[in-house]
Amino acid sequence: MRLFKDNSLTIVLMLLFAVSIVGQWLTGWHVSIENASRHGEPALSLTAYTWSPEFLSTVFENWESEFLQMSAYVVLTAMLIQRGSSESKDPDSPPRDADLAAQASKPDAPAILRKGPVARALYARSLGIILFLLFILSFVLHWTHSAAAAAEEAREHGEAAQTTLAYLGDPQLWFESFQNWQSEFLSTAVLVILSIFLRQRESPESKPVAAPHTQTGA
């Protein structure tokens, strides 16, 4: 019971993720069967569909936009502010992470902070770095699987298939990416603005319910 209480946010989010991706997997398979039927082609089995470029490209297409949004948000909120937003740091507060060499001496500080200036510099930016690398990895997987799906479709129509490298310049790839990127940046900007005026009781993503609109930071 204590394990769930201490990790309930992660557990519930991962359960929602599992339900959602299984839903995408199963409904996508049925769509694939319907498309194959309309074209008089053999349908993929569920196993074959699971590893097909058709399915994997859509999975990584969405992961790509999420990791881009998160990496951009983590880095931009370190440099930019929005007065009154709970999603922004308070520009009137002193720097939180000044003099990390001195803070490394705290008994509960992460041990890596005592490994020298290079380790401290990397660790101080590790969240943004890892999220950006996850974005790059997801983009590459989206690109390569989308290229494979496009090549399969071209062969089915008796057309010459593009190479994976050539597909990097195909408008379809960038259409798939930009249609997700724009929604991520819009939703983040909306959250930043709404958190100035609206509240969610007891949420760390919201200011206290009675806080003035001008208060910046949660």
Q: Domain map of the chain by residue range?
A: 1-51, 67-218
- What confidence score (pLDDT) does residue 190 get? 96
The answer to whether the CB of 50 falls within 8 A of the CB of 35 is no
- The helix/strand count (H/E) of the chain reads as 8, 0
Model pTM?
Answer: 0.92
pLDDT tens-place string over residues 48-101: 999 999 999 999 999 999 999 999 999 999 999 999 999 999 988 888 888 888
Question: Which tokens sit at 78?
Answer: 């370190």
Helix (H) or strand (E) holding 45: none
Amino acid found at 156: E
Other CB atoms closer than 10 Å to residue 41's CB: what's the count? 10
Mean pLDDT of 180-209: 94
